[in-house]
Structure 1
Amino acid sequence: MNNKTQFIFMSEGLFEHLTETEAYIFSFVAYFACDVSKGRTFKRTTASLCKNLGYSSNTVRCAIESLIKKSFIVKVTPPARERKNLKYNYIEEVSHHLKIGSHEYAVKFSDWLSIMLEQLRKGTSKEFYKSNTAEVSFFKVYVSALQARSNKENWKRNQSRHLHKALALHGYLFNRGYWSEKHYNSYFSRSVSFLSAVFQWSPNTIRRLINTLKSLGLIKYKIDDRRILFNKVYMVEKLRQGYMKLVSRLSPVYNENTSPRSDSKLTTPMLKRPGPNASPEEHAVFLAQMKASRRV
């Protein structure tokens, strides 16, 4: 029986305030800390966080301290209890006891996560969201893909951070793909600049992540002008196998009717830039030629 967490809930706005490591830790903590039945308190050990999220113990401790400084979580003192069972008393003592902090977005994230989970358990989520507009939009990140199956299974070539980012991006794209298919759309589009703004990562990082997901067979896409058309996003099962290399250039995918023949010679027309005294009309024509040849 696998008692590890299969997925966590993240949101687009989370990355405006947190790094990807902090976002993973906070999302995991918030899932338990927003639950009334659990006393709105997260009680897990560092080892539990490591096993579920695929991080080292030092990374987990540093992220928790950073989240406390940002007021996303706070430490609480566990209540004094009688020592009835040494084993479980020890686990209680070494566990982190955390609650949601005072940061505005942390409170909003926790409140809407609690509402969503409650509606899902009641089976009334469709009716609820028809009459209530959610202030936080969540997507699942399948952390089971980052979990080691044995103690000997280590990260390859220090790939942890890149693959954690890749999995978060996959969760976002998988959620968009689900809603796209539900509304009978064959694809959905996003630009690199848009994804860069959502996750607060550089455009080159976004391109590398997309190429990594493509090389792992998790997405299919093609380039249309400055947009990326995602045709298919597949469910992820395992991500710890790593990647061969990082690629910062997105390769356009051509249709059969527009793809160049292998035996034909491609010639690129030379464009002459207008001189310093050229008229605005000449500059406009030159810019249109640049766009037509996809040089801008």
Structure 2
Amino acid sequence: MNNKTQFVFMSDGLFEHLTETEAYIFSFVAYFACDAAKGKIFRRTTASLSKNLGYSSNTVRSAIESLIKKSFLVRETPPARERKRLKYNYIEEVSHYLKIGSHDYAVQFADWLSIMLDQLRKGTSKEYYKSNPSEVSFFKVYVTALQSQSKKESWKRNQSRHLHKALALHGYLFNRAYWSEKHFNSHFSRSVSFLSAVFQWSPNTIRRLINTLKSLGLIKYKVDDRRILFQKVNMVEKLRQGYKQLVTQLVSRVKKVNSPPLNFKTPSTALQRPGPNATPEEHALFLSQMKAHKRV
């Protein structure tokens, strides 16, 4: 990863233990803290995490504290020689020195991520995994889509959470679509209940996320029985424009609206309800109109 991180590696198993915010922070930290070439330690500021992952500083600090409590991360005291090199003491106070914690899944995640990075550098991934199948299935989440171009760009908290979830789901779907096309030459399908179990999010949240990804032009799908057939998953570029609204219902295509029949009756919502100061006669007339339209 360079100064401006393009992606983080996540796994579906992370969401059994972490929230989406914790998963983003841990994945970013683990990339550095698992790698022997980087000293197996994460040394970055809160501002760096905020800039690369699209979170506020308070959100980053809170997530790190939560990850430490869950034993996914542990703080490391910087060596005395590093402290002496610092020109300004305040830099040490705002920097995070973190290592992988003792949680079983955190250790497993970091070990296999370290192996994957090492094999990628050597160019021996294909041969290695033939005899050593990975116990963790990684997928890339392209966080460049979350990075702001200016300080004026900001989200409300709920919008930020929704788009971070949407991007994590997109990374999972993009990875599965790639492997399905490469190895099976076909589309892949998942049920809402399956995705809900993977990410530990409610079924309605999954539906809203899928519709958001569709509205942003990142996926194409159709509903087949109770499963969603993902016909196309596009590479993500930018999400800063956000979304217009949340939609829960999954539909394969826009339904054709038929003209109303000749005996179509005006719905009750079109009737003018009497005001609070209306006379009894006006209320009686409104009630008779409701009965005429079979609304009572």
1:108 is matched with 108
1:26 is matched with 26
2:70 counterpart of 1:86: no
Q: Residues 166-198 of structure 1, C-alpha deviation per residue, up to 9 Å, x if partnerless?
A: 000000000001111112533100000000000
Q: Residues 25-45 of structure 1, C-alpha deviation per residue, up to 9 Å, x if partnerless?
A: 000000000011222110000
CA distance in 1, matches of 2:68, 2:210: 32
CA distance in 2, matches of 1:90, 1:260: 63
Following TM superposition, by how much is the alpha carbon of 1:93 offset from its aligned partner in structure 2, in angstroms? 4.3
2:178 is matched with 178
* Secondary structure at 1:71 match in 2: coil
CA distance in 1, matches of 2:120, 2:158: 38
* Secondary structure at 1:44 match in 2: strand
2:126 is matched with 126
Amino acid at match of 1:94: V
CA contact 2:86–2:92 (8 Å) conserved in 1: no
CA distance in 2, matches of 1:229, 1:85: 55
* Secondary structure at 1:58 match in 2: helix
1:293 is matched with none
1:151 is matched with 151
CA distance in 2, matches of 1:84, 1:10: 34
CA distance in 1, matches of 2:78, 2:138: 30
2:69 counterpart of 1:51: no
Taking structure 1 as reference, are residues 50 and 260 closer, same or farther at Cα in structure 2, changes over 3 Å only?
Answer: closer
CA contact 1:43–1:98 (8 Å) conserved in 2: yes
1:141 is matched with 141
Taking structure 1 as reference, are residues 85 and 99 closer, same or farther at Cα in structure 2, changes over 3 Å only?
Answer: closer
Matched residues, number: 259
Q: Residues 188-223 of structure 1, C-alpha deviation per residue, up to 9 Å, x if partnerless?
A: 000000000000000000000000000000000000
Unaligned runs of 5+ in 2: 262-296
* Pairs within 5 Å for 1:187-198: 187-198=187-198
Following TM superposition, by how much is the alpha carbon of 1:150 offset from its aligned partner in structure 2, in angstroms? 1.1
CA distance in 1, matches of 2:85, 2:54: 33
2:240 is matched with 240
CA distance in 2, matches of 1:162, 1:260: 30
1:97 is matched with 97
Following TM superposition, by how much is the alpha carbon of 1:264 offset from its aligned partner in structure 2, in angstroms? 11
Normalising by the residue count of structure 2, what TM-score does the alignment of the two structures yield? 0.83
Amino acid at match of 2:10: M
2:69 counterpart of 1:37: no
* Secondary structure at 1:159 match in 2: helix
Unaligned runs of 5+ in 1: 266-296
1:273 is matched with none
* Secondary structure at 1:98 match in 2: strand
1:230 is matched with 230
CA distance in 2, matches of 1:17, 1:189: 25
Following TM superposition, by how much is the alpha carbon of 1:83 offset from its aligned partner in structure 2, in angstroms? 3.5
CA contact 1:119–1:125 (8 Å) conserved in 2: yes
Taking structure 1 as reference, are residues 36 and 232 closer, same or farther at Cα in structure 2, changes over 3 Å only?
Answer: same
* Pairs within 5 Å for 1:214-229: 214-229=214-229
CA distance in 2, matches of 1:64, 1:94: 13
CA distance in 1, matches of 2:3, 2:35: 19
CA distance in 1, matches of 2:258, 2:79: 73
CA distance in 1, matches of 2:130, 2:225: 36
Amino acid at match of 2:101: G
